[in-house]
Amino acid sequence: SAQLNRCTALQILVTRGGSQVKLQGRMYVRVTVEGVRGKTSTRLWSAGGGFDWRETLKFRVIQPTPGTSTTIFLEVKERLRLGKSRLIGSAQLPVTSESGLSEVDVPGFGAVSLQVSWRHATPDMPGKGLFAVISPLFFKPTFCKLSVNLVCDVPMMLDFLSEVQACPCLYLNKRVLRNATRRYELWLRMLYLDTTLDAERALVPPLDVEWVWHVHMLAPYF
């Protein structure tokens, strides 16, 4: 199927950090881009000096146009006990549409090396940008007048949601959901291949297929 990306992915490779003095704690880097956060694993001071993270963080954001930039916020934090952490230092870095290496001077810590690059976004990446998927196989141009009878349709929808609620596996069991998604795709193919209106009216989806269909209509960009 063809895909249309309405936004791109900012990929940040955090390579290493050179502290001004030897630090005994477990350190990690947290990066924030347009309100979305990502962080590396914790690392101890390496034998060669500094902290070797070498981890890639990905964010789904719109790539800046030439001449503009987006700002990333970088924090170096120490992992403490009981899930707590302590801020060592923070800094900001403007990122343009160009990829490249950067070295950020974090006050109270030292230099943190980053490699910034832009890639095509995927739906599983965190971020606020839109991601659209267009599948020509399921596209069927029609011209019709849309109308909804709320008095009749709302009770039917409530009955349907009650049936789904009575089957927790439809929203708690990943294996069942994967199989339901596969069956939904097969059901869509049947609708596409059968062009007679009477046959379309007769094709009533099973509960799991109808549930995936319902969720897909609520979030068609996934």
User: Would you say 70 and 33 are in contact if contact means Cβ atoms under 8 Å apart?
Assistant: yes
Which has more confidence, 88 or 136?
Answer: 88
**Residue 2 confidence (pLDDT):** 35
**115 shares a domain with 161:** no
pLDDT at 121 over 70: no
For the segment 46-71, what is each residue's pLDDT rounded down to a tens digit? Answer: 877 788 888 888 888 888 888 888 89
Is residue 114 located within the same domain as residue 37?
yes
**Mean pLDDT, residues 155-161 taken together:** 85
Per-residue pLDDT band for 147 (boundaries 50, 70, 90) equals: low
In a domain, 137, yes or no: no
In a domain, 132, yes or no: no
188 Cβ partners below 8 Å, 6+ apart? 138
Residue 17 CB neighbours (<10 A): 25
- Token digits for 159? 């009955």
By residue range, what is the domain housing residue 99? 7-120
Residue 43 lies in a domain: yes
**How sure is the predictor about 195, in pLDDT bands with cuts at 50, 70 and 90?**
low
3-state helix, strand, coil in the chain (%, to 5): 30, 35, 35
Is residue 144 situated within a structural domain? no
Are 18 and 56 within one domain? yes
Instruction: Evaluate whether residue 2 is within a structural domain.
Output: no
What's the pLDDT band for 202 if we cut at 50, 70, 90?
Answer: low
Q: What is the mean pLDDT of residues 105-131?
A: 73
Number of domains within the chain = 2
Q: Is residue 127 part of a domain?
A: no
Predicted confidence (pLDDT) per residue in 2-61, tens digit: 333 345 778 888 888 876 667 778 889 999 988 888 888 888 888 777 888 888 888 888
Q: Which residues contact 36 (CB under 8 A, 6 or more apart)?
A: 59, 60, 61, 126, 127, 128
